[in-house]
Amino acid sequence: MIQLYEELIDVLEKEFSLCAQLVGLLQKEKDVIVSLDPAALEELLSEKEAVSTNIRMCEEARERILDRLGFKNKTISQVAAVAADDYRDRLTGIASKFTSVIQSIMELNKLNGKLIEKSLYYIKTSYNFLNTFGVTARQRVSLEA
């Protein structure tokens, strides 16, 4: 049982580290969106995808460990509440850190979404403005489409 708690804490710390990396990428994304640099945005999206994949892998490992501990579908705080004294404080601290980092991720995602909406609005407005003068922009088809 002790080994499972140690494994759980290791996975949670790794997952937290990845979430902190994601916060950094989301902050960087804000600057890239504002600069309208498509190459930098594409590279950043690739990095975000890699981090997100690793987070999902940690989540799956965490769920397996929680299931083996008998805590299926329980939050970290719920597990901490019934954990042995040695692990209660560590798990409570990790739960608190996750609450903070998840809040940051949500706020940055919301901000970046608004910036993207605004950028698309400006692009659409500029496109319509050019069309009023008979200027047509060359359209490129994305290789990914």
pLDDT for 84: 81
Domain ranges of the chain: 2-132
The architecture (CATH level 2) of 2-132 comes to Up-down Bundle (1.20)
pTM metric for this prediction: 0.80
CA distances from 137 to 58, 106, 119, 125 (A): 45, 36, 17, 13
Q: What is the pLDDT along the chain (145 residues), one digit of tens a residue?
A: 788 999 999 999 999 999 999 999 999 999 898 888 889 989 999 999 999 999 999 999 999 999 999 999 899 999 999 888 889 999 999 999 999 999 999 999 999 999 989 888 887 888 888 888 777 766 655 555 4
For the chain, the 3-state helix, strand and coil shares in percent, each to the nearest 5, are 85, 0, 15
